[in-house]
Chain A
């Protein structure tokens, strides 16, 4: 991260794009498939997620994270052997880039409100609709896409199709507050024909598929925030020496918040890896770390003055309390776990 990626972070930030070769570089080291296959190691994947933040580019971390931890897990978990050979294996090799397409212009955290429709036709599905805020949206070779396969409302009509880039699929890049190095896309599907064998998991079980990966996605966001906060402190602390007691205490507060977040996040990770339900801990870990990461970088900027890396981290971390289920959604979930 520090030797090969971080030196380019500013350049890629300005270009509003990091090169696709990054996926190949990471794949060469085996880092795009840490949790897949016979030697799967989820803790290693967690370490990778934490260290990704040392690339110094939240946008890059988002693009790689979307590939390894959001878009490919459903293929690994629900895909047939043929589907895995076609989409997962090349993703692990860094040859194909994946995106997960759920959010729509009118359906964000409220996943059930999605409207993109797949109608059954001979030999497949005809897809119409649009998706937005899709990380890797422009560079992706395929989209793991949430579609409605029935007209009735509710979760039971949601399914997943793997839609490869091709006729009827158009993608455009969105401008953002941060995460500049990543291509966040708006995708339109116009009469896109998708063959039957692209259905991922069972028809009508799409909501289950979304839910299955939410915990891992949120855990990775928490891990990423912990890594990012630690990296921010490491960058700032040497330059804050000798600045007096108020600054010393300010840094101590930030370090405490960071280590408290780390303790909670690693606890949630253990719970998750033990198997079973870790909803409460994962939700708390995400809630406790995302706003904290933004606050930390914001504070460090106040203490240090202009610094391109910390400014980027501040911009990038502002997405944390929004993406992967907003802070407010986390509180709703926690309320439910307490019977409220």
Chain B
């Protein structure tokens, strides 16, 4: 190999950043990373048992992490879209999927519609305190009888004078128990099809809002997931978010951002568990050598690394298009589907490489496996993504 060191320099390009990121993104990444590792990660085990505390929102609000992409006039940082990716990626270092999800629902799912469609008053009343971490947001789409089939939503809002009266129920609502308000998808005109939906911002302390049940889950234990009931909840007209009758389109727009963030988080979580497993494989010995020295193990890592990098590039390429004004629904669906799926595959393979240890709580791999399984269901299932992609080709 004497002639070749100048060709096979082992940098492997890992030190160079992707073109969508600048030095400012790197600094942001570093500060979020340090915060997550120092202030969140040490509590991960405890929060898995008891869900994470609300002070995390206040603390992240103080640090400016809840308004990275929002304008400075509302207390945000005025950053570009990629800052949201950085947050989603770095939150995975808390090793606590439920925590990342609770924050993401607040920053990237419930509040973006207020920023885009809200009135100035709504922004002052809800967006500003959300960015500060003083109010916690949740998003109400799914119902007991309507999941990925958003059009099947039954929660009704009926005009009564200058008020609306809301009746119905929502389920699987992340932050549902801790939230101060909900961005709620309702049907205002049952005969108008897709044009019959309207969004509302509903304060969770209004009479008739019932937080019924804290739902028990397979993973994401640090997050609180609620079943909510709305019984004759009266809200003023000023609670309408966006246009009456345009709620379906508003929420479809929201879902695109949610899927991007979910995809970025899934890739980062896969990378995280991959890195930990790689370290483990180098240390763990079997049959007289580190298990990383077995060719089959090496090949597993090569395949996983390729899947992760492929997913990351699909996410970044799509994010780049999204940030440049395109609305690439097909590619977002592909990125969400691909990232969720490979993340589950990687987590499963990482359990396999850990062997018995992977099955034990202590090593934190089984938790990742449980947490990531949701990515193939939430924000539109794998099957819904395939429908969207397939139909985009006219099939």
Contact = CB atoms under 8 A, between A and B. Distances in A.
Contact of A331 (B16, B278, B299, B383): B299
Interface string B267-287: 000000000001001100000
Interface string B302-340: 110111011101101110000000000001001001100
A253 interface: yes
Contacts of A260: 310-311, 313-314, 334, 338
Nearest to A211: B7
Given A264-B310, A270-B19, A284-B305, A256 B11 contact: no
Given A247-B395, A260-B334, A340-B297, A330 B7 contact: no
A172 B3 CA distance: 34
A246 B282 CA distance: 42
Interface stretch (B85-93, B252-260, B385-393): B385-393
Contacts of A264: 309-310, 313-314
Interface stretch (A117-125, A138-146, A235-243): A235-243
Contacts of B7: 208, 211-212
Nearest to B11: A277
Contacts of B19: 270
Nearest to A208: B3
Contacts of A279: 8, 12-13
A240 B394 CA distance: 9
Given A267-B313, A334-B306, A274 B298 contact: no
Interface string A241-256: 1110101110111011
Contacts of A249: 383, 386-387, 390
Nearest to A249: B386
A177 to B, nearest CB: 25
A208 B318 CA distance: 37
Of B13, B386, B394, most A-chain CB atoms within 10 Å: B13
Contacts of B306: 284, 287-288, 334
B126 interface: no
A240 B391 CA distance: 12
Contact of A281 (B293, B309, B338, B386): B309
Interface in A304-340: 328, 330-332, 334-340
B355 interface: no
B14 A211 contact: no
Interface in A281-305: 281, 284, 287-288
B292 A340 contact: yes
A156 B12 contact: no
A261 B14 contact: no
Interface in B4-51: 4, 6-14, 16, 18-19
A256 B334 contact: yes
B317 A263 contact: yes
Interface residues on A, range: 35 or more
Interface in A147-161: 155-156
A271 B305 CA distance: 17
A277 B13 contact: yes
A331 B298 contact: yes
A298 B387 CA distance: 22
Main SS at interface, chain B: helix
A6 interface: no
A36 interface: no
Contact of B298 (A276, A288, A340): A340
Interface residues of B, number: 52
B302 A237 contact: no
B2 interface: yes
B329 to A, nearest CB: 13
A251 B3 contact: no
A241 B310 CA distance: 29
Given A208-B4, A259-B331, A277 B12 contact: yes
Contacts of A336: 10
B192 interface: no
A205 B11 CA distance: 22
B395 A251 contact: yes
A331 B310 contact: no
Contacts of A76: none
Given A255-B334, A260-B338, A335-B299, A237 B12 contact: no
Given A256-B389, A334-B306, A205 B3 contact: yes
Nearest to A333: B302
A248 B391 contact: yes
A204 interface: yes
B1 interface: yes
Q: Which of A211, A263, A287 has the most CB of B within 10 A?
A: A263
Given A252-B390, A259-B334, A271 B13 contact: yes
Contacts of A337: 10, 12
Nearest to A242: B395
- With most chain B CB atoms within 10 A of its CB, the pick from A211, A330, A338 is A338
Nearest to A255: B389
A174 interface: no
A26 B86 CA distance: 45
Given A278-B13, A340-B292, A284 B395 contact: no
Interface in B213-253: none
Nearest to B307: A288
A247 B391 CA distance: 11
Contacts of A211: 4, 7-8
Contacts of B52: none
Which among B4, B334, B395 has the highest number of chain A CB atoms within 10 Å?
B395
B395 A243 contact: yes
Given A260-B338, A331-B303, A337-B10, A207 B395 contact: no
B301 interface: yes
B386 A248 contact: yes
Contacts of B389: 252, 255-256
A284 to B, nearest CB: 4
A67 interface: no
Given A277-B9, A288-B307, A288-B310, 13 more contacts: A212-B7, A247-B395, A249-B390, A251-B395, A252-B387, A253-B386, A259-B331, A263-B317, A280-B309, A284-B306, A284-B310, A331-B299, A338-B301
- Top 8 A-B pairs, shortest CB-CB distance: A248-B390, A335-B298, A252-B389, A334-B302, A331-B302, A263-B313, A280-B12, A252-B390
19 contacts: A204-B3, A207-B3, A237-B393, A249-B383, A249-B386, A260-B313, A263-B313, A263-B316, A276-B13, A280-B12, A284-B309, A328-B299, A331-B302, A335-B298, A336-B10, A338-B278, A338-B305, A340-B278, A340-B293
